[in-house]
Homo-oligomer: A and B are copies of this chain.
Amino acid sequence: MAQPALIESKDGAGQGPASLDSVLGFHIRLAHGAVYRHFSETFATLGLTQKQVSTLWLVAEMPGIAQSELGNRLRMDRATAMSIVSRMQERGYLWRERCPSDGRKQLLHLTDEGRNALDQAKTCIEEHERWLKSRFTSDEVKKLVEMLARIHE
């Protein structure tokens, strides 16, 4: 983790990236990988993944959210949302309620166990975020979040 990721090199004059190191998408992927790995270590004991925590958190923030809406907000398609919600249900962290006004929809709610798991997860998130944010000033964090949001919104 000490050496530079790639050789030093600059972009050519208008003919595309000369070096892999100048590709923005490349850095997003590497940064995501580093965050993913640290997250996994932090959450090894809890046995929850990023997506699973995001799901519990969002359901806690919006009780009764439809499964499809959860997918939209976490940028998952139906099949992916389905598999994650099902796993969280199997573990007893949330339950599905058939929507009375629209029989197609499944409304999601946390169980007490799910709320407990989320509380523990939030403590881990704090630690994880401290590790991540320690390399930035608070202004930089704000700017970084704002720029990343421009990508995924």
Residues of A in contact with B (beta carbons under 8 Å apart)? 1, 3-7, 9, 16-17, 19-20, 22-36, 39, 50, 54, 57-58, 61-62, 72-75, 122-123, 125-126, 128-129, 132-133, 135-136, 140-141, 143-145, 147-153
Contacts and interface: CB of A to CB of B under 8 A. Distances in A.
Contacts of A74: 30
Contacts of A32: 28-29, 31-32
B34 A151 contact: yes
Judged by DSSP, the binding face of A is helix
Contact of A132 (B25, B31, B122, B128): B25
A122 B17 CA distance: 8
A72 B153 CA distance: 32
Given A5-B152, A23-B125, A136-B150, 13 more contacts: A3-B72, A7-B62, A16-B125, A17-B129, A24-B129, A24-B144, A25-B50, A25-B125, A27-B145, A30-B75, A30-B152, A35-B151, A136-B147
A32 B144 CA distance: 13
Contacts of A57: 20
A24 B16 CA distance: 30
Contacts of A34: 75, 151-152
Contact of A152 (B7, B20, B33): B33
Contacts of A132: 24-25, 151
